[in-house]
Amino acid sequence: MAVVKIWKITDRIDRVINYVSNTEKTKNYSYASDTHNLKTEEQQLVSGINCQPEFAFQQMSETKKLFKKTGGILAFHAYQSFLPGEVTPQTTHEIGVKFAHRMWEDKFGIVVATHTDRDHIHNHYVINSVSCVDGKKYNDCKKKYAQMREISDELCCEYGLSVIEKPIGKGKNYASYTAEKNGEVTKDSIIRRDIDECILLAISEKDFFNKMKARGYTFDFSHKYAVIHHPDFQRGRRLKTLGENLQETLNKSRLTA
């Protein structure tokens, strides 16, 4: 299972590139053995698409100057995180590079960096806001975010990794089902996305609820079926109708109380 999200960068691209490319965070060791000893070789899990990672800032800046689009949103910082122990650093990076190619179609300069300094291995992406192919600016919208999740899930399936299923379940109307199937963002998909992300980032069940509360969510367990309330939505939603069994999902996500 992988969680994805994306932010805009409006101040300094170099700061973000330096952070994601940090050699202490992107270390990976490959092993080679012979009859006498065991050798280890350190490599950095950092790749560039339409740019060289060590010169990415300069090359992205040159693209903006070429197309005279140096203002506004400078770049985007995306994140893709996996469950602890589910995938190796090398495979994570391989998935990350494939994800970048599919998602941004080789139209933008991108740095792909895999961080191995946490239990949950994760990929960082720094995407130039201006295309090096046609000079068009990247339009980050809800539809593109839904596409990110879809491509990430497809790659997880291809590599035999877990994906949180989203069955129709009782209570989901046909309009909502059709909308989600077509990649549209709905209230239900927003709540499920936040649940997925908090599950992956939490270290315990208590921490999960704290992270959800920090996003403005509240829970009501006084009814037969638990109800979750989004801060911006007038009506609460039963976890059951979302297709989510919260306790079962927490267990699958390897959280410990």
Sequence-ordered alpha helix ranges (H) in 38-167: 56-66, 89-104, 142-158
- In tens, the pLDDT along 148-204 reads 989 999 999 899 987 755 443 444 444 454 444 444 557 787 888 788 778 777 777
Q: How far is CA 177 from CA 180, 181, 234, in A?
A: 5, 6, 20
CA–CA gap between residue 140 and residue 137 (Å, rounded): 9
Contact indicator for 179, 186 with CB cutoff of 8 Å: yes
In the predicted structure, residue 228 carries a pLDDT above the cut 50: yes
Instruction: Provide the 8-state DSSP code for 130.
Output: B
239 token code pair: 């976890």
167 token code pair: 């069955």
- In tens, the pLDDT along 63-112 reads 999 999 999 999 999 989 888 888 999 999 999 999 999 999 999 999 99
- Domain 2-158's class? alpha beta
What is residue 30's predicted lDDT score, i.e. its pLDDT? Answer: 55
- In tens, the pLDDT along 15-73 reads 999 999 999 999 886 544 444 444 445 678 999 999 999 999 999 999 999 999 999 99
What is residue 167's predicted lDDT score, i.e. its pLDDT? Answer: 40
What is residue 13's predicted lDDT score, i.e. its pLDDT? Answer: 93
Lowest mean pLDDT among 2-6, 107-111, 246-250: 246-250
What is the rounded radius of gyration, in angstroms, for the C-alpha atoms of the chain? 20
Query: Which residues face 48 on adjacent strands?
Result: 111
Contacts 24+ apart (CB under 8 A), 248-252: 249/164, 249/195, 249/199, 250/199, 250/205, 250/208, 252/162
Q: How far is CA 66 from CA 20, 50, 70, 122, in A?
A: 26, 15, 9, 33
Domain boundaries, the chain: 2-158, 174-252
Average pLDDT over residues 140-152: 90
Contact indicator for 11, 74 with CB cutoff of 8 Å: yes
Sequence-distant (6+) residues with CB within 8 A of 232 are: 216
